[in-house]
Amino acid sequence: MSDKSATLNLGEKSITLPVRSGTIGPDVVDIGKLYGQTGAFTYDPGFTSTASCESKITYIDGDAGVLLHRGYPIDQLAEQGTFLETCYLLLYGELPTLAQFSDFQSRVYRHTMVHEQMLKFFTGYRRDAHPMAVMVGTVGALAAFYHDSLDIADPHQRMVASIRMISKMPTIAAMAYKYSIGQPFVYPDNSLNYTSNFLKMCFSIPCEEYKVNPVLSKALDHIFILHADHEQNASTSTVRLAGSSGANPFACIAAGIACLWGPAHGGANEAALQMLQEIGTVDRIPEYIARAKDKNDPFRLMGFGHRVYKNYDPRAKIMQKTCHEVLGTLGIKDDPLLDVAVELERIALHDDYFIEKKLYPNIDFYSGITLKAMGFPTSMFTVLFALARTVGWIAQWKEMIEDPHQKIGRPRQLYTGAPMRDYVPLDKRG
């Protein structure tokens, strides 16, 4: 424990608060005793200056545009590793040996099927339901089937639930897609790697042979790595808060999916592509840049800006490179959406408003173009984000549950409502 401290003067009270340092990154002022010693709360609605927990999983240096998973830079993991390797790293804290990886991989592959009765859920959904609505409902319903991995106090059951989530998300995501287009579900094929299996479940049909394009499979594996975890973002904080009450892991992940769906968060990849389609051509970009800068216009450049990155999102750089690789592999020479995206980025990065507010493209800016080129409908983009982020949610949930100091999350408030007053009977209210 460091001997650094902070002094807070509040009215006549002056208290000393301990200051803690992490391995890297900002110090924290431990305010756990503030209310007890002063009767006052801190106030930080968007958690812009608040650390909600201690974690060893992911670190972001927003000013430098650096993202580390268990200390490994995201570009090295994306360029040299696989998504399942990153899953192991996030869950266990170290890169796996060959033996550890093959054991982990076989455990994941052994859980790719879902209970056959889950198929009946889908017939209850409208075909035009948003796939994220289907994901929230179906993932939450896993708790209705897997009673042998609900006891969060049992480390074995926690690990089984973790493996089941990582393994079954691609199957459920593919089922949501197939249901939306009226095609039959495709069962997992465990002879394929994680990402190729997902592509086959999405795009193969019973009446034709399907060959996975290895370049697209590798590109999608990169994309999953880029989305795997990201510190205490809104959906991860949702999963931690749900888990702090002791809720089962499937319910916690369903809560994370619900939060990710928002356009300010994981829904931005869908919104960014819709924005590029609405802009349509390069000559209309200035109109939208002006709207983004207009305080009276709620329009924002989707895929731009970030709470933590005040520099280029390192994932966006890799995403842009992957985008060009995928379009090249597919022989898409000139994609008008990409032309608009590249020009929009160029203009925005030279505009004083965006420079002053440190608004750079984030991971959602190029992902939509890439996924659309791979054949996914816009409505599936956030589903793929949720598929990849599941391992991050699970790793963070597991870290919280295993923290001996963990307590239920229960923030307080600044109350500005009516003072105490007496009830007035209905016939006396005029």
Residues that bind ligand SDX (CB under 6 A): 46, 230, 233, 264-266, 268, 292, 300-308, 357, 359, 362-364
Q: Is 220 in contact with 198 (CB distance < 8 Å)?
A: yes
DSSP designation for 127: T
Q: Give me 387's structure tokens.
A: 């598929």
CB of 151 to ligand SDX, least distance (A): 29
CA pair distance 238, 260, nearest whole angstrom: 9
Tokens 């592999």 found at: 329
* 364 included as an active-site residue: yes
Instruction: For ligand SDX, give the closer residue by CB, 170 or 303.
Output: 303
CB of 25 to ligand SDX, least distance (A): 15
Q: Give me 404's structure tokens.
A: 């001996």
Q: Which helix (H) or strand (E) holds 96?
A: none
CB of 304 to ligand SDX, least distance (A): 4
Instruction: For ligand SDX, give the closer residue by CB, 24 or 264.
Output: 264
Instruction: For ligand SDX, give the closer residue by CB, 107 or 300.
Output: 300
CB of 385 to ligand SDX, least distance (A): 8
Q: Is 319 in contact with 367 (CB distance < 8 Å)?
A: yes
Instruction: For ligand SDX, give the closer residue by CB, 104 or 366.
Output: 366
Instruction: For ligand SDX, give the closer residue by CB, 259 or 401.
Output: 259
CB of 126 to ligand SDX, least distance (A): 27
Q: Give me 138's structure tokens.
A: 């179906």
- DSSP characters over 325-386: HHHHHTT----HHHHHHHHHHHHHHTSHHHHHTT--B-THHHHHHHHHHTT--GGGHHHHHH
Q: Is 131 in contact with 380 (CB distance < 8 Å)?
A: yes
Residue 30 vs residues 25, 34, 101, 175, 403: alpha-carbon distances, Å: 15, 9, 38, 46, 17
Determine the Cα angle at 329 with ends 285 and 192, to 5°.
120
CA pair distance 94, 34, nearest whole angstrom: 37
From the list 364, 403, 422, 427, the catalytic residue is 364
Instruction: For ligand SDX, give the closer residue by CB, 179 or 304.
Output: 304
Q: Whose CB is nearest to ligand SDX?
A: 305
* 306 included as an active-site residue: yes
**H helices of 207-362, where?**
214-226, 234-244, 249-260, 268-279, 285-293, 314-329, 336-349, 352-356
From the list 69, 130, 306, 313, the catalytic residue is 306
Outline where DSSP puts E strands in 130-252.
Answer: none
Instruction: For ligand SDX, give the closer residue by CB, 178 or 230.
Output: 230
Instruction: For ligand SDX, give the closer residue by CB, 301 or 387.
Output: 301
Tokens 């460091």 found at: 2
- Residue type present at position 293: K
Q: Please give the radius of gyration of the chain, using alpha carbons only, rounded to the nearest integer.
A: 24
CA pair distance 208, 342, nearest whole angstrom: 37
Q: Is 327 in contact with 373 (CB distance < 8 Å)?
A: yes
CA pair distance 394, 87, nearest whole angstrom: 10
Q: Active-site residues: which are they? A: 306, 364
